Amino acid sequence: MVLLLISASLSAGLTALHFPAGILLGCMVAAILLASQEIRLEVPTSLFVLAQGVLGCLMARSLQPSLLAKVASNWPLFLGATMAVIAASAGLGWTLMRRQVFPGTTAVWGLAPGAASAMVLMAGEYGADVRLVAFMQYLRVVVVTALASLVARLWSTHPASTSGEVLWFAVRSAPDLGATLLLAFGAASVARWLHIPAGAMMAPLFLGTALQGMGSLSIELPPALLATAYAVIGWTIGLRFTRGILHHALRALPQVLGAIFALIGVGLLAAFVLTQVGGIEPLTAYLATSPGGADSVAVIAATSAVDAGFVMAMQVARFVTVLVFGPRVSRFVALGRKHPGHVP
């Protein structure tokens, strides 16, 4: 009840100030406050999976065929921006590892951009300190989410979320809503049962994009459903910041924050290239290259006056690239520590 009360107060305040992703931010901060006081709460895994499925449908709704064609026609530029962020994270992780800021290969895994939960799980299999990897991953998500929301709020003079009263339970088509819920919950549950990394969000995203492109589905997402998903995502991130983890990592906090902001700087440079070469609107390019969680950036884009589809396409491209190549890159850089003769 305390978590709900604080979350509602903060979310209402941030939403009243027209902050993009105000609900997600409010719930995330509330969860961090309680977790730092050693109040043990945990979002049920099934609820988190369903929330990811809803966000997957949200991202799919923005990926129209015309946008995908635009991405495909400029794939070298988009791939370059994605690889720049991944390469920067590997380099920064290697630097922290060589300086022995964290034991072993923890820093390498901790700075891998995107797919935070997948990176935490994979890190444990390669001998890294899972607690510290989780700290670095979710601290990055919190910092990037908060900063991106602030930038979106300051940049947008007419935020997308201020258009009159919100009709929380408005539904245009009940059959479309039923099909969307079946896609979100069914695909997410099956993906989790099959142990597909990040599949709870990616399966509804890919299936929804395909069905929408074929004209077989019109994705229907009432505001109340989205708000619930935002809250669950925010609580899940925030509740992982226990006092023990914070104390354990406090000594290295300046170096970790420095690396996170350096990674944000690389994303900013990539965004500048997109605006100059690709003609992308600056705020859209900034959100597209932000090295945060794809889910939280998706929420910010959906509640801001930006090209949400382009942001989703870039975030998904990096998300998939990290899932496929992230473990290999991290393992390669980490092995450089064991074999100093190799140049990572």
Nearest-5° Cα angle at 323, 317 to 325: 95
How many CB atoms lie under 10 A from the CB of residue 186?
A: 14
Q: Give the residue among 129, 101, 145, 117 at the shortest CA–CA distance from 253.
A: 101
> How large a percentage of the chain has pLDDT more than 70?
83
Residue type for position 32: I
**What is the model's pLDDT at position 327?**
65
How does pLDDT run across 135-158, given as a tens digit for each residue? 788 788 788 888 888 888 787 655
For 291-339, give the DSSP string.
Answer: -S-HHHHHHHHHTSSS-HHHHHHHHHHHHHHHHHHHHHHHHHHHHHHH-
CA dist., res. 123 & res. 273, Å (int): 32
Which of 126 and 60 is assigned the larger pLDDT?
60
Q: Mean pLDDT over residues 110-129, rounded?
A: 67
CA dist., res. 116 & res. 190, Å (int): 21
User: Residue 334 — pLDDT band, cuts 50, 70, 90?
Assistant: low
Q: Which helix (H) or strand (E) holds 258?
A: helix 253-277
**What is the model's pLDDT at position 20?**
67
Query: Would you give the distance in Å from CA 125 to the centre of its chain?
Result: 23
Q: Which two tokens stand for residue 63?
A: 């990926």
How does pLDDT run across 288-303, given as a tens digit for each residue? 888 877 767 877 887 7
Mean pLDDT for all residues in the chain:
80
CA dist., res. 122 & res. 119, Å (int): 5
**What is the model's pLDDT at position 145?**
81
**What pTM, to 2 d.p., does this model score?**
0.71
Residue type for position 136: M
Q: Does the pLDDT value for residue 118 go beyond 50?
A: yes
Q: Does the pLDDT value for residue 344 go beyond 60?
A: no
Which of 287 and 70 is assigned the larger pLDDT?
287
Question: In the 8-state DSSP scheme, what is residue 341?
Answer: T
How does pLDDT run across 188-225, given as a tens digit for each residue? 999 888 887 668 888 898 899 889 888 888 888 898 99
**What is the model's pLDDT at position 340?**
45
Q: Which two tokens stand for residue 175?
A: 């059959």
Q: Does the pLDDT value for residue 275 go beyond 60?
A: yes
User: Residue 31 — pLDDT band, cuts 50, 70, 90?
Assistant: very high
Are the C-beta atoms of residues 127 and 104 closer than 8 Å to each other? yes
